[in-house]
Structure 1
Amino acid sequence: MNPVTRMKEAADFYSELESSLAGSTEAQRKAWATLLVEQNGDLKQLSGLLRCDRKTATRFLWMLSGVGIMNPGKLYEALPFLLEYVEAINPAYLTSFANYWLIAGVPPQNEGKAIDLSFEWLISAETNVTIKSRAAFVLLKLTRKYPELKNELRFCLEDQMDKYSKDFKKRAVKNLKDLEE
């Protein structure tokens, strides 16, 4: 396919997402994510969708998770750009990265930011339990590379585990056991 045709198709796909994401179903987002993976679509070219209304942007973030589940490497390669972009345009969307890092891993250039954000989410009373749990798992994975984080993670988990649901406590206890290994 020639470059002009490819650019037109990319523009058409972007327009379709821009007009349809807000009212999309999970099945539609999965189909679009599949298309992105199969056609080797550039996730960076779609990042402008994060500037759309909140509903469109949120569904785009969900679709990115779908891409990552199907092809973690595809999401992984876009994460450094997406992190910088999201931080610049709407930091409220940063919590999605707890899921992305869990799915695809943390790129080396984002490790410092991932550690800072994950600890911030883990100890914040404003963060929901799902994000806290994902942040804890991301940090647990990072302790393999940075064992010096173990004590801080242990302290945070012990501090937080009785403040939330029984399920969160169960996950925190499991994470604490995993820290001992």
Structure 2
Amino acid sequence: MNLKKALLKDHSRAHALYLADYIRQDEDRFGELMQLFFDEPYLITQRAAWVVGICGEKHPSLIMPYLEKMILNLDNDIHDAVKRNSLRILQDMDLPDNLIGPAADICFRLLSARDEPVAVKVFSMTVLLNVVKKVPELKNELKIIIEDQMPYGSAGFVSRGRKTLQALSKI
């Protein structure tokens, strides 16, 4: 299957699930998907992001060889879907020690930015909560940023913010 053509064919949940099922745990197919995810124009990366997110949920081990590049890619001018799906994957991963610093820096920036979509902010919040469990010195910084944005946040942001603040109080 030509994955690039398949991504352009349809943009639906059913199609994304179909492509994720095609890839399964095949490292070569997943590598092809990741190349599209990182190196193509917005439309392709956007559609690839959905499939990457599904594959990352089902087979997190596939992400490991791309983890550093995925984190550093968040610093680039990328489609919101790429940020959202990357962070959705990262929030459920135990980050290696060498990637905690870069991930924390990027997630603090995304969480603090006024123009980021809610999903990007809440997934960044969860990544940072996981980081704080390993690096408790960052606890107060995360708490301050969340509390600062709560009065202006959407319902989703406020809900995740409350849960995160509650979890932070136990650390």
- Check if 1:18 corresponds to 2:4: yes
Moved >6 Å (runs of 4+): none
RMSD in angstroms over aligned alpha carbons? 2.2
Deviation at 1:130, TM superposition (A): 1.1
Name the residue aligned to 1:64: 52
Counterpart selection for 1:76 from 61, 64, 70: 64
User: Unmatched 5+ residue regions in structure 2?
Assistant: none
What is the 5 A alignment of 1:97-116?
A: 97-116=86-105
| 1:164 paired residue number | 153
Question: Given that residues 128 and 142 in structure 2 are in contact (C-alpha distance below 8 angstroms), is that contact kept between their aligned partners in structure 1?
Answer: yes
TM-score, scaled relative to structure 2: 0.84
Alignment partners' CA distance in 1, 2:74 and 2:31: 14
* Residue 95 (str. 1) matches residue 83 (str. 2): yes
Q: Pick the aligned partner of 2:125 from 126, 136, 157.
A: 136
Aligned-pair distance for 1:74?
1.5
* Higher alpha-carbon Rg: 1
Aligned residue pairs, count? 165
Larger % of helix: which?
1
Q: Which residue of 2 aligns with 1:10?
A: none
Q: In the alignment, is the contact (CA less than 8 A) between 1:68 and 1:104 conserved in 2?
A: no
Aligned to 1:153: 142
User: 1:54-108, CA deviations, whole angstroms, 9 ceiling, x for partnerless residues?
Assistant: 2111111111101011111212332124445x369x5324624322201334343
Contact 2:118 2:156 in 1 (8 A): no
Q: CA–CA distance in 1 between the matches of 2:130 and 2:74? A: 23
Question: Secondary structure of the residue that 2:105 maps to in structure 1?
Answer: helix
Distance 1:77 1:151 in 2: 32
Separation (CA, whole Å) in 2 of partners of 1:27 and 1:41: 22
TM-score by length of 1: 0.79
Q: How is 1:111-130 mapped onto 2 (pairs within 5 angstroms)?
A: 111-130=100-119
Check 1:145–1:87 CA distance in 2 against 1; reply closer, same or farther (3 A cut).
closer
Question: Could you tell me how far 1:169 is from its partner in structure 2?
Answer: 1.4
| Identity level (%) | 25
2:25–2:62 CA contact under 8 A, matched in 1: no
Structure 2 counterpart of 1:17, one-letter code: L
